[in-house]
């Protein structure tokens, strides 16, 4: 399986970079993993709704440019479906079984994802109704992908 994580912005916090690197290394025996970062749009602190929309559109264009036409896209969105770890594992297993072995998880910037990117997504996934920093979401996502792979192989993993 080939899994991409596309994200807006560059990680700067060492603890997040180290945590993601550790899980990416662990995932190497399960899947071909790739983390792709696109630049975030510089924006003033107090933006109008129209300016916020423009930021989402520009960041969305950068993300869309990195997506192959045949990749299965999972957009992380607060209004998406909420799954258990087992449901994520089952979904990844079914995708691989039915020939959709290229999957891209997409994490937007601080303002979320553009409507164009959400329309391109094959599904929207939520990790809960709470707002999490998009940088932290990368670490949470890569850990959950690792957990899913272990579940699918019947390997033990802490609960």
By three-state DSSP, how is residue 45 classified? coil
Is residue 139 within 8 Å of 20, Cβ to Cβ? Answer: yes
Q: CA-CA distance, 150 to 142, in Å (whole number)?
A: 13
- For 78, phi then psi, to 5°, come to -60, -30
Please indicate if the annotation marks 95 as binding a ligand.
no
Element (H, E) at 78: strand 72-82
Please indicate if the annotation marks 127 as binding a ligand.
yes
Please indicate if the annotation marks 130 as binding a ligand.
yes
Q: CA-CA distance, 43 to 65, in Å (whole number)?
A: 21
The token duo for 145 is 């992908």
Please indicate if the annotation marks 132 as binding a ligand.
yes
Please indicate if the annotation marks 47 as binding a ligand.
no
Please indicate if the annotation marks 131 as binding a ligand.
yes
Known binding site for S-adenosyl-L-methionine: residues? Answer: 76, 108, 127-132
Annotated binding site: 76, 108, 127-132
């Amino acid at each position: 399986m080939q899994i991409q994580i596309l994200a807006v912005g560059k990680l700067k916090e060492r603890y997040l970079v180290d945590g993601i690197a550790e899980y990416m290394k662990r995932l190497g025996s399960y899947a071909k993993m790739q983390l792709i970062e696109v630049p975030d749009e510089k924006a003033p602190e107090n933006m109008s709704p129209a300016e916020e929309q423009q930021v989402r559109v520009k960041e969305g264009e950068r993300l869309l440019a990195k997506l192959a036409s045949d990749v299965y896209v999972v957009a992380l969105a607060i209004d998406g479906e909420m799954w258990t770890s087992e449901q994520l594992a089952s979904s990844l297993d079914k995708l691989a079984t039915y020939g959709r072995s290229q999957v891209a998880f997409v994490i937007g910037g601080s303002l979320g994802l553009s409507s164009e990117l959400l329309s391109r997504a094959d599904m929207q996934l939520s990790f809960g109704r709470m707002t999490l920093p998009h940088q932290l979401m990368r670490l949470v996502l890569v850990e959950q992908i690792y957990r899913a792979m272990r579940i699918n192989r019947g390997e033990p993993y802490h609960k």
